[in-house]
Structure 1
């Protein structure tokens, strides 16, 4: 695999069955993915940045309600250009990933529709580092100090390793079909800090102990997990702490809006 490889990007834009997200309800839309942030719907922002990444070829949005998303101007333009298509969202994140990966060209970049602060350059950095590491699967992480430099309250959950504390950037890599099994790591949202039993299921009991005690570096822990899975699983440290801040609730919506207003200026109504 070389650095001219074109990656298929999966943008996860599903919704919880039967539940209207509070941010969507507040914005008067039917799903969180189309909630505007500084005037632009979240999924449209992400699709634009993914499309601007030179490493990305095809783009698939995995969604339960694609029509509302397809009507967005930026999305419609990518559909017309033959760059973007939809895959069916399923009842959980892992099965949705499998749906998006069906007949897709590997490798896969997986991101989420609420990753509003990741730029095309950020996706390119992640892809380049995955390729350079020869990763079968990978997860993007940002150092706590960099995340707090981006915004002191933008992210509150960090994973502790011997070499520092890191936050998940909702960027994942699946190098080939064999490594697609790594999607199990993301089942039920991948909230391992809050639900340690999920680490046991995915990583094994000894790795849970090492993880909870913070006694292993991220590289060593991922190498141990790689042996469990049978392919190379890599922790990719990204340079910009903004990439770990996504839109989960009103607090992070306010943080993300504030950061985007610094970048772009305030949205003009109408």
Structure 2
């Protein structure tokens, strides 16, 4: 497979909706689901699919409540992925959506969300490499506050403070094997770690949850305590690209995401290169060469 080597078996993109809730961003943009909100001219989930397609993952799952999502996407990435792309019905909570896909997924499994538009193939590879370096069975991708703010000062406002580092969640989770699926309990309260503490208390244990929530100790020490409670080695996978922590939740983060995409867009090719690109016969325009415009 020609994709970037990540050592992944599958990727799961969570694109469901909360039961009974209307997403404000989707409503504002007149689309049926948040994953279809246009970001830089493409449905947001298409950006995530493009990055997933560039990896060596054998299958890429999209978990959604939206019937006919593939047709409504109307994006070229759907056709380009072919049989690698599998649409599956979402459950009422994220944990059950992960567990349902795990029945047919290959491992390691990377779980991310449809609004994670700035997740790049390089960061996906970095997540896998960091999990291998730390000997993790499962992992949570996190970015340092200084890297997030450097990517865009208004992109993300939620940070977890530890005694040695402040980080933000990147909505990307690595699960090494089926036995490590106990870690999926962290999803049951929502995409953000400890967003609803009561629901994840049993997964982490009360003391560990308090340590995580209030940063009572170094980050890897606290994750070590959580690992012992879960009986699964869960690691903090700190990535270099702070933009990965900026997910599209509202107009502010949408504008920040599009600004970063614009900054990352490759520069336009010089006119001479464009002329050469149009020369399908491969002939060199000697007049351009004589003028010093091409080599």
Specify if TM > 0.5: yes
Inter-partner Cα distance in structure 2 for 1:132 and 1:194 = 28
Deviation string for 1:53-89 (max 9, x for gaps)? 2x42211111111413344223431453x21111110
Judged with a 3 Å threshold, the aligned counterparts in structure 2 of structure 1 residues 153 and 19 are, in CA distance, closer, same or farther, namely: same
The DSSP-based 3-state class of the residue aligned with 1:145 is helix
Q: In structure 2, do the counterparts of structure 1 residues 194 and 106 end up closer, same or farther at CA, with 3 Å as the change threshold? A: closer
- Matched residue SS, 2:92: coil
Map 1:51-90 → 2, pairs under 5 A: 51-53=53-55, 55-71=56-72, 72-80=74-82, 82-90=83-91
What is the Cα deviation at residue 192 of structure 1? 4.8
Cα deviations by residue, 1:16-71 (Å, 9 ceiling, x for unpaired): 23433222122221000011101011111100111112x42211111111413344
Once the two structures are superposed, the pairs formed by residues 10-49 of structure 1 within 5 Å of their partners are 10-49=12-51
Matches within 5 A, 1:188-207: 188-192=189-193, 194-207=195-208
Work out the CA distance in 1 between the residues paired with 2:6 and 2:12: 19
2:175 is matched with 174
| Alpha-carbon contact 1:61-1:100 (below 8 Å) kept | no
Question: Is residue 7 of structure 1 aligned with residue 17 of structure 2?
Answer: no
Structure-1 residue corresponding to 2:233:
232
Structure 2 alignment gaps of length 5 or more: 267-295
What SS does the aligned partner of 1:189 have?
coil
In 2, Cα distance between equivalents of 1:68 and 1:201: 35
Which runs of no fewer than 5 residues in structure 1 stay unpaired? Answer: 266-270
Q: Is the 8 A contact 1:137 1:233 kept in 2?
A: yes
Aligned CA distance change for structure 1 residues 190 and 38 (closer, same or farther; 3 Å)? closer
- Answer yes or no: is the 8 Å Cα contact 2:188–2:200 preserved in 1: no
**How far off is 1:231 after superposition?**
1.8
SS for the counterpart of 1:163 is coil
Moved more, 22-31 or 44-53: 22-31
1:164, CA displacement in angstroms? 1.1
Tell me which residue corresponds to 1:152: 153
Tell me, in whole angstroms, the C-alpha distance in 1 between the residues paired with 2:138 and 2:212.
19
Cα deviations across residues 180-231 of structure 1 (Å, max 9, x unaligned)?
1111111121545554434532211221332344231111111111111112
SS in 2 for 1:188: coil
Spell out the pairing of 1:235-254 with structure 2 (5 A cutoff): 235-254=236-255
Secondary structure at the aligned position of 2:58 is classed as strand
Contact 1:47–1:75 (CA<8 Å) still a contact in 2? Answer: yes
- CA distance in structure 2 between the partners assigned to 1:217 and 1:69 by the alignment: 43
Residue aligned with 2:188, SS: helix
Secondary structure of the structure 1 residue equivalent to 2:62: strand
Structure label with greater radius of gyration? 2
After TM superposition, the score normalised by the length of structure 1 is: 0.90
Specify the alignment match of 1:268 in structure 2.
Answer: none
Moved more, 181-190 or 159-168: 181-190
Deviations 1:223-243 (A, max 9, x none): 111111112111000001100
Cα distance change, pair 75–159 in 1 and its aligned pair in 2 (3 A): same
Q: How far apart are the structure 1 equivalents of 2:218 and 2:144?
A: 13
Q: How many residues get paired?
A: 261
Q: What is the match of residue 125 of structure 1?
A: 126
- Flag the 1:92–1:35 CA change in 2: closer, same or farther, 3 A: same
